[in-house]
Structure 1
């Protein structure tokens, strides 16, 4: 039997959490916020049942046959996503969002940053956050777009 070259694969796992937020930028007037965010600027906020799909990538281990142990990934996601976000008011209960508008884009960045602290370096491939069935954000860690 000839030696096989390493095989790369991507592994995805999903988790859900419920949270409320208000889309509101401190940099804008109340009128500008209402115009930009509409009903999502409701002073009392509104809620979502978010679905997050985390994808990791790596070589398939020849012994275990896995890119990553799913039990480990589940624990990382629990610590990075569910514990800080589930059943929270994002704007009031999560310090990160005290200065950052709690859009789905920024929720994805928050989750990415949290996962990066826990996962082995270079393993995280993408974070997909589904705020609704119609609104989905995919973040892959890019910081800026070069023009």
Structure 2
């Protein structure tokens, strides 16, 4: 039974390490270097990503949960961490064969991997920290 009186957001933090190269195959080497700088290194570079997953919904009256955090943790690990951790995003993930693995695009891909596993009545927001100073959110705030 759902309590329709209030929505609550629950958060789960995870982390993963991955390498990538920012590169547009339609551009010259000079333009790639000018636009992406050292992130265009042909030998790739890595980040220690911090991922925050926010789930918003109504609390279940029987459990008191929006979502069981253990279930959420298992979904994140199986759908994201196992797939991304210690990988070269450009070369090992099919999602980035034709999509530049910017933080924005990584968050978009993670969102789509997770939303497919969640009950339809739940809202999802991804916050991905590429560095301690830089992060992206998907979907964006209105």
Q: TM-score, normalised by structure 2?
A: 0.93
Match in the other structure for 2:74: 75
Instruction: For 2:112 and 2:4, locate their aligned partners in 1 and report how far apart those are by CA, in whole Å.
Output: 32
Query: Are the counterparts in 2 of residues 104 and 129 from structure 1 also a CA contact under 8 Å?
Result: yes
- Structure 1 runs of 4+ with >6 Å offset: none
Instruction: For 1:12 and 1:134, locate their aligned partners in 2 and report how far apart those are by CA, in whole Å.
Output: 20
- Please say which structure displays the higher CA radius of gyration: 1
Instruction: For 1:102 and 1:122, locate their aligned partners in 2 and report how far apart those are by CA, in whole Å.
Output: 29
Query: Are the counterparts in 2 of residues 53 and 128 from structure 1 also a CA contact under 8 Å?
Result: yes
Query: Are the counterparts in 1 of residues 115 and 124 from structure 2 also a CA contact under 8 Å?
Result: no
User: What secondary structure is seen at the aligned counterpart in 2 of 1:68?
Assistant: coil
Q: How many residues align?
A: 139
Unaligned runs of 5+ in 1: 143-147
Instruction: For 2:66 and 2:52, locate their aligned partners in 1 and report how far apart those are by CA, in whole Å.
Output: 16
Instruction: Please provide the CA RMSD for this pair.
Output: 1.5
Q: Deviations over 1:85-143 (max 9, x none)?
A: 0000000000110100000000000000100111111413200000001110000279x
Write 1 or 2 for the structure with the bigger share of strand.
Answer: 2
Query: Are the counterparts in 1 of residues 49 and 129 from structure 2 also a CA contact under 8 Å?
Result: yes
Q: TM-score, normalised by structure 1?
A: 0.90
Match in the other structure for 2:119: 120
Instruction: For 2:21 and 2:4, locate their aligned partners in 1 and report how far apart those are by CA, in whole Å.
Output: 50
User: What secondary structure is seen at the aligned counterpart in 2 of 1:20?
Assistant: strand
